[in-house]
Amino acid sequence: MAAQVDATPELLAYVREVSLRDDEILAGLRGETERMPAYHSMVTMPEEAQLLALLVRLIGAGSVLEIGTFTGYSTLCMARALAPGGRIITCDVDRKWPSVAAGYWKRAGVADRIDFRLGDAAETMAALVSDGLAGTFDLVFVDADKAGYELYYEHALTLLRPGGLVVVDNTLYFGRVVDQDARDPDTEAIRRLNARLRDDERVDLALLTMADGITLAHKKTA
């Protein structure tokens, strides 16, 4: 059996050369994001955003929830892939990030599909449940503060319809999950979530070793 291929910078450049379908708007937003100090720790890699768009299309998603907007690159990719009449709710605790994204969303013609919510993600998700939206979302993408991941995951399962998909980013957390000396709160939070997902019979599961680790959890229909 073949071993896992190391994603060297050269190999990653090749992957993007042969598979990344970019355009001026996406490239512009990515370029602006790359100039920001928080880029390396918060950015969604372009091939990951393209995967998210593909997943949205594959399941015919018309209702998507994104936890963690940053500069709205993944938001834009998913919004473009929504089923006709669909919308994406995206939330963040910082108003400055979506202010960067808004112009790009408008240029791409998807601003009317995007509903930005400012505030604590757990509170936003709880409010959606209170508003009667439990069991109505097709896909939830979680890419925010790691300490909140377990709570976000539980809220996501409540909000998802049967057969819906939770996508959790950073589940390998820079490789720190296998570093026995890494005992910081974020790494420990990711370890707890991964163990919880492994044992959760409510979902079918796959952890993809791309980007910083992407976990797909499919909510079972029965």
Q: What domains lie within the chain, and their CATH numbers?
A: 9-219 (3.40.50.150)
- Please report the pLDDT score of residue 50 as a whole number: 96
User: Which two structure tokens, joined as six digits, stand for 52?
Assistant: 């998210």
Assigned token pair, 172:
């390998």
- Which uninterrupted H or E stretch holds 171? none
Integer Cα distance of 89 and 128 in angstroms = 10
At 36, which amino acid appears?
M
DSSP state of 178: G
Average pLDDT along the chain, 222 residues, taken 10 residues at a time: 75 92 91 73 82 98 96 96 98 86 95 96 97 98 97 98 98 95 97 98 96 96 87
Spatial contact of 69 and 105, defined as CB atoms under 8 Å apart: no
Helix (H, G, I), strand (E, B) or coil at 170: coil
Q: Please report, in angstroms and rounded to a whole number, the separation of the first and last CA atoms in the chain.
A: 34
pTM for the complete prediction? Answer: 0.94
Q: If 0-12 CB within 10 Å is exposed, 13-18 middle and 19+ buried, where does residue 56 land?
A: buried
The edge-to-edge listing of strands for the beta sheet with 160-169 is 114-118, 87-92, 63-67, 137-142, 160-169, 214-219, 203-208
Q: Is 151 helix (H, G, I), strand (E, B) or coil?
A: helix
What pLDDT shows up at residue 94? 87
Residues paired with 114 in a beta bridge: 88
pLDDT at position 31, please?
87
**Res 41: pLDDT:** 53
